[in-house]
Amino acid sequence: MTQKSFPQPSSPHTPARTFTKYSLVWAVAAGISLLYLILLVAQPDVIARSLGSGAETAENDATQKALHETVAEVRTLRDTIDLFRNELIEVRAQISNQSDAAHDLAARVGTLETAAAETQKVAANDDTKAKEKEATAKKAKETAAKKPDKAGIETGSVAQPATGAISFGPAVVTPAARPAAATPSVPASQVGVQIATGPSVDSLRLSWTLLNERHGESFRSLQPRYTTNMSGPEQTYDLVVGPVASVDAAKKLCQELAMKATPCAVSRFTGDAL
């Protein structure tokens, strides 16, 4: 009979290996931990500096990123401000142009109003002159109507000659002098002042408008007239205002105008209505 041999079980007391791969890893980790603890106790500054360097690097990176973003926002804001400033300059230029146009239009309207007022004033003066001439003519006609048609005659009485007295010739009838007709008292000359000279009547009208605006108080009761001056090589026109009460009053008015840089000369108040 054949005997079978069976493997004998190993003894439970077989010794295991001393160092394995896992034991080596744990040993290295324990050594590192021990070294860290020793450094933490012996040199805490080194540990803190090594740990803080990473945090500072991250913080610096975040700071740089925020700084770049801020610079970009500032540039964008500056570009926006420049755009608004350019638009504001254009708006101000448009407003200035509109203001200049409005002033020009107002000046033209004022000139037209002044010209219209001056035309109305000239027309009113012409109407006044025409009424005065009509009244003068009517008064002259009334005076001529009251004039006697026949002259009065004086008759003398004839006395009887006395005896022995000297005898005179026959009585002679002598007509009485005709009474003078009543005429209105008109001064021989009226006094005025000459305040301007121009090449045309229109230039005198413009001068009168300006002077009347400047010296309205002095010319309030005076009327403008113009005369033709042929003394020079070319025909000119003189602006005369009046009437003035006397030569002394005219000289006083000229002195007042001379103090205001307005030329003036005493003259006769003659000529045509301006």
pTM above 0.85, yes or no: no
**Could you tell me the two tokens for 163?**
């005896």
Name the more confident of 205 and 18: 205
CATH number 1.20.120 given to 191-273: no
User: Which of the pair, 1 or 61, is modelled with greater confidence?
Assistant: 61
- Does residue 239 surpass a pLDDT of 90? yes
pLDDT band at 162 (very low <50, low <70, confident <90, very high): very low
Confidence of residue 178 (pLDDT cuts 50, 70, 90): very low
Average pLDDT over residues 127-139: 75
Q: How does the average pLDDT of the chain come out, rounded?
A: 75
* pLDDT at res. 251: 94
Instruction: Give yes or no for residue 159 having a pLDDT over 50.
Output: no
CA distance 155 to 157: 7
Taking residues 77-100, report their average pLDDT: 87
More confident residue, 220 or 9: 220
What's the distance, CA 116 to chain centroid?
22
